[in-house]
Amino acid sequence: MSVKSSISLTEQQDAFARSLVETGRYSSLSSVLQQGLELLRQKTEAEAAETEALRMLIRRRVDEPKISAMDMEERIASMIERKRHALRVES
């Protein structure tokens, strides 16, 4: 279903939209604007999904058990030693 709407464009926006129609990329100004709105909708939804994923990651990180700095240093040293051994690099 289509809904008629009146909009205002800047001169540059109008010129760009008309050039897309004139070159045959779109059949009408309405098609250009519909495509633009669809891209904006998709971008907005993707940003919302990314934001929610980041919120979930932060929540999970906050709720997980914490380890001490000393434990972290030991883990890192152990990881480095394993990598050196795997790559046959001397300490």
Evaluate whether residue 83 is within a structural domain.
Answer: no
Q: Which of 54, 53, 50, 16 is nearest to 36 (CA)?
A: 16
- The answer to whether residue 21 sits within a structural domain is yes
Instruction: Say if 15 falls within a structural domain.
Output: yes
Domain count of the fold of the chain:
1
Is residue 29 assigned to a domain?
A: yes
- Classify residue 61: in a domain, yes or no: yes
Structure tokens at 58: 């932060």
- Boundaries of domain holding 48: 11-65
Residue 13 to residue 27: CA distance in whole angstroms: 17
Question: In 3D, which of 27, 25, 31 has the Cα closest to residue 2?
Answer: 31
Q: Are 20 and 27 in contact (CB under 8 A)?
A: no
pLDDT single digits (tens) 34-73: 999 999 999 999 999 999 999 999 999 899 988 899 999 9
In a domain, 48, yes or no: yes
At 2-26, the pLDDT tens digits run 889 999 999 999 999 999 999 999 9
The answer as to whether 35 is a domain residue is yes
Instruction: Please name the residues in contact with 61: beta carbons below 8 A apart, sequence gap of 6 or more.
Output: none
